[in-house]
Chain A
Amino acid sequence: MPRDDSSTSKPFLATDRRRLLLGLGAAAGGTLAGSLCPAQAARAGTTSEAEHVADAPLGTARLQQRQPFHGPHQAGIVTPRPAAGLVAAFDVVVQSPADLERLFRALTVRIAFLTQGGRTPQLDPKLPPADSGILGPEIEPDNLTITVGLGAALFENRPWLRPFKPKHLQRMAGFPNDALDPELCHGDLSIQFCANTPDSNIHALRDLLKNLSDQLVLRWLQDGSVPVVAPAADGEKQSARNLLGFRDGTANPDSGDPATMARVVWVGEANDEPAWARGGSYQVVRIIRMLVESWDRTPLGEQQRIFGRKKVSGAPLDGRTEADVPDYAADPDGRVTPLDSHIRRANPRTPEAREHLILRRPFNYANGVTKSRQLEQGLLFVCYQADLEKGFLTVQGRLDGEPLEEYVKPIGGGYFYALPGVPRPGDYLGRPLVEALAARPSTPS
Chain B
Amino acid sequence: MKLNRLLAGSALALAVGLPGLAAAKVEPSLELVQPLADYKIYISEKLQKLVDDTTAFTAAIEAGELDKAKALYAPTRASYEAVEPVAELFGDLDAAIDARADDFEKREKDPNFTGFHRLEYGLWEKDSTKGLAPVADKLLADVTELQGRVVDLPLPPEKVVGGAADLMNEVAASKISGEEDRYSHSDLWDFQANVDGAEKIFELVEPLVAKDDPAFVQRVSANFKTVDDTLAKYRAGQGFELYDKLSESDRTVLSAAVNTLAEDLATLRGKLGLN
Contact = CB atoms under 8 A, between A and B. Distances in A.
A106 B260 CA distance: 15
Interface stretch (B4-12, B44-52, B147-155, B199-207): B4-12
B263 interface: yes
Given A124-B15, A124-B270, A157-B249, A217 B7 contact: no
Given A124-B270, A126-B14, A126-B275, A217 B263 contact: no
A238 to B, nearest CB: 43
Given A121-B4, A213-B263, A127 B256 contact: no
Contact of A128 (B1, B259, B260, B270): B270
A91 B252 CA distance: 7
Given A93-B252, A121-B8, A128-B266, A109 B1 contact: yes
Nearest to A188: B252
Nearest to A109: B1
A123 interface: yes
A302 interface: no
A386 to B, nearest CB: 31
A196 B215 CA distance: 39
Contacts of B249: 157
B1 A127 contact: no
Interface string A104-138: 00100110000000000101111110100000000
A1 B263 CA distance: 17
A213 to B, nearest CB: 4
B259 A123 contact: no
Given A109-B1, A128-B267, A215 B7 contact: no
A217 B1 contact: no
A214 interface: yes
A217 B256 CA distance: 6
A126 B273 contact: yes
Nearest to B222: A214
Contacts of A127: 7, 11, 267, 270-271
B40 interface: no
A128 B260 CA distance: 14
A124 B249 CA distance: 37
B269 interface: yes
A379 interface: no
A361 B260 CA distance: 34
Contact of B12 (A106, A124, A213, A214): A124
Prevailing SS type, chain A contact patch:
loop
Contact of B1 (A92, A157, A211, A216): A211
Interface residues of A, number: 24
A130 B273 contact: no
Contact of A1 (B4, B10, B255, B270): B4
Nearest to B268: A127
A124 B4 contact: no
Contacts of A210: 263
Contacts of B188: none
Given A126-B14, A126-B273, A210-B263, A93 B256 contact: yes
Contacts of A125: 275
A205 to B, nearest CB: 14
Interface string A145-175: 0000000000001000000000000000000
Contacts of A130: 4, 7-8
B66 interface: no
Contacts of B3: 211
A182 to B, nearest CB: 10
Contacts of A110: 1
A122 to B, nearest CB: 8
B253 interface: yes
Nearest to A126: B270
A157 B247 CA distance: 13
Interface in A78-115: 91-93, 106, 109-110
B24 interface: no
A109 B266 CA distance: 23
Nearest to A130: B4
Contacts of B140: none
A123 B7 contact: yes
Contacts of B262: 213
A305 B273 CA distance: 69
A207 to B, nearest CB: 10
A216 B256 contact: yes
B1 A213 contact: no
B188 to A, nearest CB: 18
B257 interface: yes
Interface in B1-31: 1, 3-5, 7-8, 10-12, 14-15
Contacts of A214: 223, 256-257, 259-260
B86 interface: no
A214 B1 CA distance: 13
Contacts of A217: 252, 255-256, 259
Given A124-B14, A126-B14, A126-B269, A213 B8 contact: no
28 contacts: A1-B1, A1-B5, A92-B252, A93-B253, A93-B256, A109-B1, A121-B8, A123-B8, A123-B11, A123-B270, A124-B11, A125-B275, A126-B14, A126-B270, A127-B7, A127-B11, A127-B267, A130-B4, A130-B7, A130-B8, A211-B1, A211-B3, A213-B260, A213-B262, A213-B263, A214-B257, A214-B260, A217-B259
Given A126-B275, A217-B259, 17 more contacts: A1-B5, A91-B252, A124-B11, A124-B14, A126-B14, A126-B269, A126-B270, A128-B266, A130-B8, A211-B4, A213-B256, A213-B262, A214-B223, A214-B257, A214-B259, A214-B260, A215-B256
Interface of B: 1, 3-5, 7-8, 10-12, 14-15, 223, 248-249, 252-253, 255-257, 259-260, 262-263, 266-267, 269-271, 273-275
Q: Which 7 residue pairs are nearest across A and B when measured between Cβ atoms?
A: A124-B11, A127-B270, A126-B270, A213-B259, A214-B260, A123-B11, A91-B252
